[in-house]
Amino acid sequence: MGEIRNFRSGNQNEPPPHGGMPRRLAAIIVGDIASYSRLMQADEEGTHVRVKRIERDLIEPSIVEHHGSLVKTTGDGFIAIFDSPVEAVRCSIVIQQNLIGRNASIPKHSRIEYRIGVNLGDVIVEPDDIYGDGVNIATRLEGIAEPGQVYISGAIYEQIKHKVVCGYESLGDRKVKNITDPVRVYRVLPDADAVGRTRGRRENTLIFLLGITLLVIASGVLWYLLTQSRGGTGEQAAAPTPAPVASPSPQPLPREAATQTPQPSPSVASAPPSPAPPSPAPAPSQESSQAPSQAPSQSVPPVREPEMIAIRGGSFAMGSNDDPTERPVHQVTIKPFSIGKYPVTVQEWNECAAAKACGFTATGKDDAPVSNVSWTDAQQYVAYLAQATKKPYRLPSEAEWEYAARGGTQTKYWWGDKLQPGMAGCKDCGDLAAEQPAKVGSFKPNPFGLYDMGGGVDQWVEDCWRRTHQGAPVDGSAWNGGDCSSHVLRSGSWKNDSRYVRPANRDGYDTNVRYPTHGFRVALTP
């Protein structure tokens, strides 16, 4: 991998000096450009400019946003370290997902694609470099990764498997160069649908093999019966033949049906009966037994409108002094608007997916808030809702969201200045730890009658992300324009601690990247 592979490590003969060598446990990202030599040979200056632009505009900001440190860049790669394995993997996913967008309009042979390896290990840290087997393993993972992929070690997997709800494909134990013990390797599947696709491929392969096996058995039985019947007359040989054929052939059908039936069932709306709603009436007796269980939710009525709460508007002090991103505190005047009583649910989202207006089918209980949604996904939903209802649905502005979340209060939380159990769904809010958010409306509403305006899922708003409120609009409108590669998130999630559920808390995330705790609610202009 060029210069990165020349890192010194615990494998080298020269021992590190003792005394002032700081060591730390860190998550290490190693990235390298695939086919870098070929790209440089084809267009040396152009490739160099493009690589530097990606480092400046994507890699370095992503590392900073995810609380990591860039150790060094080389001609064809980079190394970064993080205190948090979760943030290291999030950063890797963001880089790869953004590169997909950047490469979309570029011919395949000219694309700049990174291979990324992530490992957790004890490293020696110097001002401009890091050393140790932890770096070596991350480097080897990068070396075996496919272009555009993120490979992580078993050590990373154990730390993030219940925290980053994306797909993981185990590639087994791999023997890597200069490392004594085999390394357990996983491939990260950042898209929630990728998990189902991977499992679906395996299930389809098993179904195919099962079908072949049954076919071979059936053929063998048929051949045996035919050979046994040759001793009789031609009429007698012909008569028993249909019976053996009929007995094995029905057997594949129940097994295929039993295997395939669960595939659409995780999301009823994903088996979109839109191709055949009630219009075809020629064969009601055969079709009616299947249609009622799947069609009603999307045929009549065509769209389920979220329950809305009307907000009268008014003035309030937006922001706080608890965090630099929430400053300065400034007075904002909000015009009347309506906002969703709850975040958008899995059921509501899947009706959009069934109408082919939203990009994926969500998993989870119908009354849970939809999650793993990018800002772009959220915009697809509000566009679908607006078109279906002829009403101006949209995402709330950041100011509208905070005004609604405060519910007319100016305290740290809408219920007061101290954390109280049972008021919100977060990691230390008193509810039991869970692998997904509670169903919407599980906690008390705020004074405006709104549920889950803190905890549950992070919620996208309309505004572009800026690090502070300096220069923000004072009329309650969304703050757009400029670099909008990231958008604002509010609320905090069930995975965050209580400081994130404050109405003033704010964060930003990449516009086109899905993350397991991200959801949204809708707003409506009067």
Q: What is the pLDDT of residue 203?
A: 52
Pair 455, 386 in one domain: yes
Pair 95, 206 in one domain: no
**Residue type for position 280:** P
Least confident residue range of 248-257, 302-311, 326-335, 506-515: 248-257
In a domain, 412, yes or no: yes
With contact defined as beta carbons under 8 Å apart, do 59 and 94 qualify? Answer: no
In a domain, 236, yes or no: no
How many angstroms separate the CA atoms of 137 and 275, rounded? Answer: 51
In a domain, 241, yes or no: no
Pair 212, 134 in one domain: no
Q: Check whether 343 has a pLDDT greater than 70.
A: yes
Pair 178, 207 in one domain: no
Q: What is the CATH number of the domain that holds 124?
A: 3.30.70.1230
The helix or strand, by DSSP H or E, that contains position 42, with its residue range, turns out to be helix 36-42
In a domain, 477, yes or no: yes
With contact defined as beta carbons under 8 Å apart, do 345 and 371 qualify? Answer: no
Pair 51, 176 in one domain: yes
Pair 168, 217 in one domain: no
Q: What is the pLDDT of residue 307?
A: 96
How many angstroms separate the CA atoms of 462 and 325, rounded? Answer: 17
Q: Residue 480's pLDDT band (boundaries 50, 70, 90)?
A: very high
Show the tokens assigned to 368: 């849970």
CA nearest neighbour of 72 among 135, 115, 120 = 135
Domain count across the chain? 3
Pair 203, 338 in one domain: no
In a domain, 376, yes or no: yes
Q: What is the pLDDT of residue 426?
A: 85
The domain boundary, picked from 133, 167, 190, lies at 190
pTM: 0.53
Structural domain that includes position 369: 308-524
With contact defined as beta carbons under 8 Å apart, do 82 and 156 qualify? Answer: no
The domain boundary, picked from 167, 190, 213, lies at 190
Pair 496, 425 in one domain: yes
Pair 208, 162 in one domain: no
Mean pLDDT of 457-466: 95
